[in-house]
Structures are given as C-alpha cells and as structure tokens.
Structure 1
Amino acid sequence: MTKSGNYSEVSWIKMKEREVLLRILVVEDDETVRSYILKGLSEHGHTTEQTDSGRDGLFMATTEEFDAIVLDRMLPAPDGMTILKTLRASGIQTPVLILSALGDVDDRVDGLKAGGDDYLVKPFQFSELMARLEVIAKRHNPRQSADTILKVADLELDLLKHKVTKNGQAIEVQPREFRLLEYIMRNRGKLVTRTMLLEQVWDYHFDPETNVIDVHISRIRSKIDDKGKASFIKTVRGSGYIFREN
C-alpha cells in the first residue's frame, strides 16, 4: 500500500468553497495504467490512495472513506468483482468505477449488476475517466454539484446563458474560447497543464508542440484583461497556466 497526492502549494492558492477535491482509491495491478491514472488525478488536485493488491484494496475500501474508487476487474485474488460484491454486501456504497479489458455487453452488464456505478473499457483516455469519476461522485455527494455562474473579481461566466461579462459589460467570445475560459476558471488557483487543456477543451490529443492553446489564450487575454494590470491568466513556463484574481 502506498499513498500519492501531489499537493503543490499552487494547488491550494485561493481555493473556493464551491470546489470540492476528491479522495480516490485506485486499485490496479498494472503499474503503467496505475501511474497514468495517479498522474492525471494529481494534476487535477485530487488526492489518492493506491494499491496493486486486491486484498489490500478491499481492506482499504472497507476501513477508510473515499469519494470514489477506481477498481480493476482482473486483479489477483480477490478479483475486482469479488471486492465489489463484498463492499455492497457490507453496505458500503462508495461510488466504484470498474476498469477492464473485458468490453463485451455481457461483461459490462455483469459489472453494473454487481454494484458498479460505471464501467470503463481499457484502453481509455484520462479525460473520460475523470469525467466519469466526477459524475458518479456528484451522484452520491451533493457537494459535487456544479456551479452555473463562475465569478472572479469583476469577470463573470454564466454557464446557462453561455455569456461572459466584465464589469457588467458583455464580452464576445467564440465557443472554443468559452470552453477554455470555463475550464481555467473552474480550476482557478491551480496549475492547468497543456495536456489537460488539449484533452478537456479540444477532446483529443494534438501535437504537444502546437500553438493552438497559445493563440486562444492570447485572444482571451485581449478580451478580459485590463491594460496596465497583470493578466488573469498567468503563464507558467514549460508547465501551463494559472488563473488568478488580479
């Protein structure tokens, strides 16, 4: 059993009560897959417990509290299905996302009937795993409900009306700019990497050397920043961006 949780100082700068970080248990015996998941969760600011053992995973899941569990189906004894059935029989309702290379309809149905909240087939993209985790966590915990208005200083993003205003004045933004601004504002105070932006805003991988992010960030800055003041969006050279209050 090991513990992971890369909480850098920047991850906690001006965190708002509306933002709830998740505590997630990852039970996965494939070291490459496990490291991939842990890295992504850490970049999103979440904390994790991890193990490659079904026995340890069952012990941790029954003795500690988690917001969600990522559970590999094909673990050494006990396997993921046995762990899941044991948890549900014990009255533990922690949301569980099953990971498996078994992707037939019958396999997915079996996993859900055993008590799984969702089922994700390998190989997968981290953005999809994160989205599924957020959904099942929100379903079980009302604290996870999303805001409809994001506001930082005099800048406001209305998610229902799809509208951006500054000092009460409307700002025209393109759909992609809106998505990019929304994602950065939701993660304000935290480092948002280029990989995260490419996966979350563009939905698939670009060449990491592409300047598409830089172009969109520049356009957004020209629309939301005040002359003579530091930009809302700070560039962290070689890493990504941080949205901060001026």
Structure 2
Amino acid sequence: MARILVLEDELMLNEMICDYLVSNNYECVGVKSYDEALDLAYDQNFDLWVFDVKIIGGNGFELLDSLRAASKLTPCIFTTSLNSINDLNKGFLSGCDDYLKKPFELKELLLRVQNLIKREFSHKNEKVENLDNNYTYDIATKTLKKNDKQVKLSKKESDLLALFLKNKNRLITREEIYAQIWDIGEVPSELSLRVYIRNLRIHLGERIISKPKLGYIYVV
C-alpha cells in the first residue's frame, strides 16, 4: 500500500483529503505545519507528498526546496490558491512534480496521485543497462556504475544524466535544463553546464550531441 504525506493547515480539508485517499486504498498521514511535515519527510518513507503552499510556520515552496537540497526525491504535488504564472514557475523550480489549484475536486487529486505513484513505482525498477563500455545507470538512485563500481558524479551531473536518459533522442533546451537542474535561488551558468556535459562525455562518449543556441540531445 502506497504511503502519502498530506500537508494542509485547514483541518477539515486535511481530513477530507486523507479520508478520500484512504478510501481509495492508500495509507495517508496528515499534518498541518511546516515543522511536522519536515520531520516526517526526513524520518519516514513516503511514496508521495501532497503539500499546501500557504502553511503554518513557512511555505510549501521552501519546504520542498529544503528537502530536494537534502536529496529527498519523493514526488510532490502542490495544492494552492496561488494562481499566477510566477507562482507556478516557483513551484516547479522548487522541484514539484505536479500543481493543483484550489478549489479542486478530490477525484482530480486522486487521478494525479495515481499517475505519480504509478510513475514512481515504475522508476524504482527502471535501470538503464549498457550505456557504453559496461556502464549502467540507475535512474531511481541516480547512480552511475562501470563494471559494478560506482562512478563519482556531482549532484548536478547525476541529475543531468537522469534528465537525458528520461528524454532520449529529444532536444532538451538550455532553459529546460536550467529549470530542472539548478535549485531555486541559484543563478544558472552556461559555463558550468558545459563542464557538466564535458564530464559526462568522458563516460558516455559522444552520445550527448550539442545543438548550438538550442540545447542538447542524448542519442541512442
């Protein structure tokens, strides 16, 4: 049974969400504050987080940003009454996987939950074999190995490789890479990106193709 952490400071809505998810065969833990959610997300394993943005003791964007910085990769859905494009962008830059505007139907939330958990369970078993010269890459743990020995990559190099492998043979623009790889508040650097690409090519050869002024393609 998949476990879901729900952060919602409106008690009635919190209980409605949890009761509905439980009735659909999920285990659900509901909390109301930033600190409660932070402690549980660090200490316990969940398959999905559902975070409100305006919460007691902080906000959901900052919470998820802190968890992502600590390499907590559990998928997350934001629920919020904020509806500007800047808020949407901030949510995705902090590392969320989906964004649901209030008010919403519980059925819609359930559909999004089902989609993300299905994807997460699939990724947990997904391994890319034989990238080149006996290399393997585990997307779930973001670990590159050669002959079963781990290859040292920086966090951004590992995140970038995961992004390429999930988007094989598709052009990924620099803007998309910046949004996915750089943390909120960080200033993206084209020079740094080139260094990460060069380091990955040491292991993967010329599979990563540069498209001037556009972006990069991982070719298989």
TM-score if structure 2 supplies the norm length?
A: 0.54
Query: What secondary structure sits across from 2:54 in the alignment?
Result: coil
CA distance in 2, matches of 1:84, 1:142: 22
Q: What is the 5 A alignment of 1:105-116?
A: 105-116=85-96
- Residue in 2 aligned with 1:140? 120
After TM superposition, give the deviation of residue 50 of structure 1 in Å: 1.3
CA distance in 2, matches of 1:53, 1:90: 19
Structure 2 residue runs without a partner (length 5+)? 126-220
CA distance in 2, matches of 1:100, 1:55: 19
Q: Please state if 1:35 is matched with 2:15.
A: yes
Query: What secondary structure sits across from 1:70 in the alignment?
Result: strand
User: Which digits, 9 at most, give the CA deviation of each residue in 1:180-229, with x for residues without a partner?
Assistant: xxxxxxxxxxxxxxxxxxxxxxxxxxxxxxxxxxxxxxxxxxxxxxxxxx
User: Which digits, 9 at most, give the CA deviation of each residue in 1:220-246, with x for residues without a partner?
Assistant: xxxxxxxxxxxxxxxxxxxxxxxxxxx
Between Structure 1 and Structure 2, whose CA radius of gyration is higher? 1
After TM superposition, give the deviation of residue 144 of structure 1 in Å: 9.5
Contact in 2 for aligned 1:27/1:72 (Cα 8 Å): yes
Q: Please state if 1:45 is matched with 2:19.
A: no
- Residue in 2 aligned with 1:58? 38
After TM superposition, give the deviation of residue 77 of structure 1 in Å: 1.8
- Greater share of helix residues, 1 or 2? 2
Contact in 2 for aligned 1:68/1:137 (Cα 8 Å): yes
Query: What secondary structure sits across from 1:129 in the alignment?
Result: helix
Structure 1 residue runs without a partner (length 5+)? 1-20, 146-246
After TM superposition, give the deviation of residue 57 of structure 1 in Å: 0.4
CA distance in 1, matches of 2:124, 2:62: 28
Q: 1:100 aligns with which of 49, 73, 80?
A: 80
Instruction: Letter of the 2:16 partner, please give it.
Output: Y
- Residue in 2 aligned with 1:87? 67
Contact in 2 for aligned 1:138/1:144 (Cα 8 Å): no
CA distance in 1, matches of 2:115, 2:89: 19
Instruction: Letter of the 1:47 partner, please give it.
Output: E
Q: 2:51 aligns with which of 50, 67, 71?
A: 71
After TM superposition, give the deviation of residue 142 of structure 1 in Å: 1.2
**Aligned residues, how many?**
125
After TM superposition, give the deviation of residue 118 of structure 1 in Å: 0.4
Aligned identity (percent) is 30
Contact in 2 for aligned 1:27/1:70 (Cα 8 Å): yes
Contact in 1 for aligned 2:18/2:29 (Cα 8 Å): no
After TM superposition, give the deviation of residue 24 of structure 1 in Å: 0.4
Contact in 2 for aligned 1:137/1:144 (Cα 8 Å): no
CA distance change for structure 1 residues 95 and 47 in 2, over 3 Å: closer, same or farther?
same
Instruction: Letter of the 2:110 partner, please give it.
Output: M
Runs of 4+ more than 2 Å apart: none
Contact in 2 for aligned 1:72/1:99 (Cα 8 Å): yes
**Larger RCO: Structure 1 or Structure 2 (Cα < 8 Å, ≥ 6 residues apart)?**
1
After TM superposition, give the deviation of residue 114 of structure 1 in Å: 0.7
Instruction: Letter of the 1:57 partner, please give it.
Output: A
CA distance in 2, matches of 1:34, 1:64: 19
After TM superposition, give the deviation of residue 78 of structure 1 in Å: 2.5
Query: What secondary structure sits across from 1:71 in the alignment?
Result: strand
Query: What secondary structure sits across from 2:6 in the alignment?
Result: strand
CA distance in 2, matches of 1:54, 1:77: 5
CA distance in 2, matches of 1:56, 1:83: 11
